[in-house]
Amino acid sequence: MVGKIGLVGAGAVGSYYGLMLKKAGVDVRFLLRSNYEDVKSDGFTLVHHRPEKKSEKIYNLKIYKDAQEIGICDWVIIACKSTVNQDIADIISPMVDSDTALLSLQNGMGNVENLTDSFGNDRDVVGGLCFTCINRTTPNSIESLLAGYVQFGQLGKVLSSRTNAMVDVFQQAGIQVKRSDSLDEALWKKLCWNIPFNGLSIAGGGITTDLILSNRKLRHRAKVLMKEIQSAAKEYGILIEDTFLERQFSLTEPMGAYKPSSLIDFLDGKPVEIDSIWGEPLRRGQKKVVLMPELETLYSELKQVSR
């Protein structure tokens, strides 16, 4: 086993994976904020939509409002929005000592580097990319529309034995996993979906993914954005096939009227992860003198509407 796990950011994604691990017998301690009282009184409701819809109540959770009460952990999972990255070291430091490993399940680029800058690279700092469709529909209700998988990687190196043990635990909990020898490659590939569909759902006027696909102009913009990501990734030695880009469209079709996570944040009046999803890849592309005018335009649009 991997020992004691502290989980920070019990939104849709964090709660789902934390609950799946808890159900498998893993010692997970949830740090909760706004939904603490809801979970304390009524647990979590976990709804699976595939292969058939079923709902389950999960009680007897180890929940806390203060990281000091959780104490030092073997692993800390960070699933909060990257918009709080400037505060994440202060938030999780009561759970971290010199032997604590860190796993980021956050969107976008720069999250693992942020943790490394704060806590050093003499520990396992892991990126977990969640290719999934999960929504939190009430403070304590989590709906998995498409479970998907989590892809794990570490910057500049293959997965350590300790990280592989964590990946094994995810797999034993019924979560599909992939292991990557290149975290950068996995990040660039995930952005091929996140950048167009999260971004255009907001820039298009607060619309779901099916409306992006059915709109000729927005669908074309999505393809151009993917090609720009492909070009930037190539300058970092990462080849993304055209067939991979096309597959992003075919994978999105069956989602129907899906609201990407950034759209949900935008509609709820919450901060959108503009910098990590759109800003950081744009800066990395510009650093390699890659022309990315469509991404630059979208980044500007999102900054204006998300103020």
Each residue's pLDDT tens digit, 21-69: 999 999 999 999 999 999 999 999 999 998 889 999 999 999 999 999 9
Number of domains in the chain: 2
Angle at 299 between CA 111 and CA 138, to 5 degrees: 65
- Residue showing tokens 């907001």: 202
Contacts of 179 (CB under 8 A, 6+ apart): 151, 152, 153, 159, 164, 167
Please check whether residues 92 and 28 belong to one and the same domain. yes
Residues 174 and 192 in one domain: no
Q: Give the 3-state secondary structure of residue 42.
A: helix
Residues 124, 198 within the same domain: no
Q: Write down which residue in 156, 181, 206 finishes a domain.
A: 181
Other residues' Cβ atoms within 10 Å of the Cβ of residue 23: 14
Residue range of the domain that includes 224 = 185-305
Are residues 155 and 214 both part of a single domain? no
Identify whether residues 209 and 175 lie together within a single domain: no
Single pTM value for the model: 0.94
* Closest to 148 (Cα-Cα) out of 273, 67, 252: 252
Residue type, 194: N
* Same domain (yes/no): 158, 261: no
At 80-118, the pLDDT tens digits run: 999 999 999 999 999 999 999 999 999 999 999 999 999
Whether the upstream peptide bond of residue 94 has omega within 30° of 0, thus cis, is no
The CA radius of gyration of the chain, in Å to the nearest whole number, is 19
Long-range contact pairs involving 284-290 (C-beta distance under 8 Å, separation at least 24): 284/109, 284/232, 284/236, 285/228, 285/231, 285/232, 285/235, 288/232, 288/235, 288/236, 290/228, 290/231, 290/232, 290/235
Please say which residue of 181, 209, 224 terminates a domain: 181
Cα separation of 159 and 178, whole Å? 11
**Could you report the per-residue pLDDT of 121-149, keeping only the tens digit for each?**
899 999 999 998 898 999 999 999 888 99
